[in-house]
Amino acid sequence: MTIKVNNLRSGLIDYDGSKANTTFGYQILQANTTGHNNTGVGYTSLYSNTSGEYNTAAGYNSLYHNTTGLSNTGMGSFALYSNTTGIKNTAIGLSSLYANSSGNYNVASGLSALAFNSSGDNNVAYGSNSLKNNTSGAGNVAMGYQSLFTNTTVSNLTALGYEALYSNSSGTENTAVGYRSL
């Protein structure tokens, strides 16, 4: 069933099972050709998806640039906005994993968590602005407001607490626990 507003698709329930996509909102899955088992809710979420599968996007422009990425979840406006080929990422919160294009297996929860990550893999960020400036660092864990905030490319760091490892830009394999530690 297709729902239209002003003759433009605003909803789709793929009841015959050929692609099993479900959408509700303006211009969702507009470029989709072979992608299946996707769910999109919100204005232009999953807009560029062509063959990506098993993605869930809920929020204004969430997973907007996804083309072939698989098994991603973006909840919140601009969550995983730039993702094109990244797989198995989870972003919850406004602009979380915003710049991710090819990073895989990342988890971001909170306002702008991992916002500038583009290619880093296997990162976990919980808290507003945690790992915000990370671009390619991998295997990092940041839990707490602005933890690992400055990190861009360093890998294998663990920061737990308010602004823990906030200014780290070169030290590898560090662990910091507590308020503004290291």
pLDDT of residue 16: 54
What domain range is 68 assigned to? 1-102
Same domain? 95 vs 27: yes
CA–CA separation, 9 and 32 (whole Å): 13
Does the pLDDT at position 138 exceed 80?
Answer: yes
Residues 36 and 58 in one domain: yes
97 & 117 share domain: no
> With contact defined as beta carbons under 8 Å apart, do 82 and 98 qualify?
yes
User: For residues 53 and 8, which has the higher predicted lDDT (pLDDT)?
Assistant: 53
> What percentage of the chain carries pLDDT values higher than 70?
97
Is residue 126 classed as helix, strand or coil in its secondary structure?
strand
**Residue 8 predicted with pLDDT over 90:** no
End of a domain among 102, 117, 148? 102
- The total number of structural domains in the chain stands at 2
Count the Cβ atoms, other than its own, within 10 Å of residue 70.
Answer: 19
Tell whether 21 and 89 lie within a shared domain: yes
Question: Are residues 112 and 169 located together in one domain of the fold?
Answer: yes
d(CA 94, CA 161): 21
Same domain, 115 and 47: no
Same-domain status, 141 and 76: no
| Average pLDDT over every residue of 6-25 | 76
Checking if the pLDDT of 109 tops 70, the result is yes
**Residues 82 and 53 both lie in one domain:** yes
Q: Which residue has the higher pLDDT, 19 or 123?
A: 123
pLDDT in tens, 158-176: 999 999 999 999 999 999 9
Residues 36-52: tens digit of each pLDDT: 999 999 999 999 999 99
Whether residues 43 and 88 fall in one domain: yes
Of 62, 86, 102, the residue that ends a domain is 102
**Residues 93 and 120 grouped into a single domain:** no
Nearest to 131 by CA among 145, 147, 110: 147
Residue that terminates a domain, selected from 71, 102, 133: 102
pTM: 0.93
Using pLDDT thresholds of 50, 70 and 90, give the confidence band for residue 115: very high
Q: What is the pLDDT of residue 18?
A: 66
